[in-house]
Amino acid sequence: MKTTIMCVECGVKPCKRGAIKYCSKECSLKNTSVHVLGNSYSLPKGHTPWNKNKKGIHLSKKSEFRKDNSVNLGRVRLDMRGENNHKWQPKLKRPCEYCTKELALAPHQVKNRVRNFCNRTCWALGTRGKGSPVYKGEKSARRLRNRVAQMPEYREWHATVLKRDGYKCVKCGAKHSKKTPLEVDHIKRFLFIANEYKIYTPEDARKCDELWDTKNGQTVCKPCHRTLQTYGTTGLRKTL
């Protein structure tokens, strides 16, 4: 006959099928260091876990740097840094592309062109104009008229004409407002000056003195500007 094994904790109920000591989960938890709080389980007050203050302490030096050891995540071996590392490569000396200052770069930085400037100022100045990777020069899709309008000489000419005319329209005397914004009109078309002096680039425009003559400009409001023959392409076909 099979002998029934009684619960070690309560001593009343027999152990369940397959259990050795306890009749239920409650009796098993009562006799261990874990107690029940509602539906969750937590350690009792004052209980000290077995791994407290033992992080980084290993019993065996052979298992200290094993890949499967979770304690080693994020740790660095000092004896494998710098020249002691098998992947170490000497740095290469390259000049800064803007100020020609000598830089010590890693081989991957030279190969991938990650860093060719010594600081952000040199990078900002070295990537403008001809140093820009998208610079096209004379083959630029932007019109020459728009490129000249971005030059500092043009902005100075524009401000000088406005100040000379007292910031008023020379046709109707209107001041600047949202409905009547002020504009500076070329008395002699920019196209005629460019064809006469053979201006093809902003550098050619910078050398032309007639283009920056303030007598060739007048301040007009937008409604008056549209009535003039020099506005946009008005009357351009008749003159060509």
How many CB atoms sit inside 10 A of residue 70's CB? 6
Strands 217-221 and 92-95 come out as: unpaired
Of 145, 164, 148, the closest CA to residue 217 belongs to 164
Q: What whole-number distance in Å separates Cα of residue 133 and Cα of residue 94? A: 20
pLDDT attached to residue 60 = 60
Separation between Cα atoms, residue 222 and residue 183, nearest integer Å? 6
Of 22, 49, 21, nearest to 33 (Cα)?
49
Residue 140's alpha-carbon distances to 28, 137, 146, 195, in angstroms, are: 83, 6, 11, 19
Mean pLDDT by 10 residues, the chain (240 residues): 72 70 74 53 63 60 57 65 84 88 86 80 84 69 81 93 93 88 91 88 90 93 90 65
Tokens 């860093």 identify what position? 115
Do strands 102-105 and 217-221 pair parallel, antiparallel, or not at all (unpaired)? Answer: unpaired
Helix (H) / strand (E) element for 190: namely helix 190-197
Q: Report the alpha-carbon angle 108-109-110, nearest 5.
A: 90
> Contact at 8 Å (CB) between 199 and 193?
yes
How far is Cα 228 from Cα 187, in angstroms, rounded to an integer?
10
According to the model, what pLDDT value does residue 58 have? 56
229 by Cβ neighbours in 10 Å (0-12 / 13-18 / 19+) ranks as exposed
**What's the pLDDT at 169?**
93
pTM of the model: 0.43
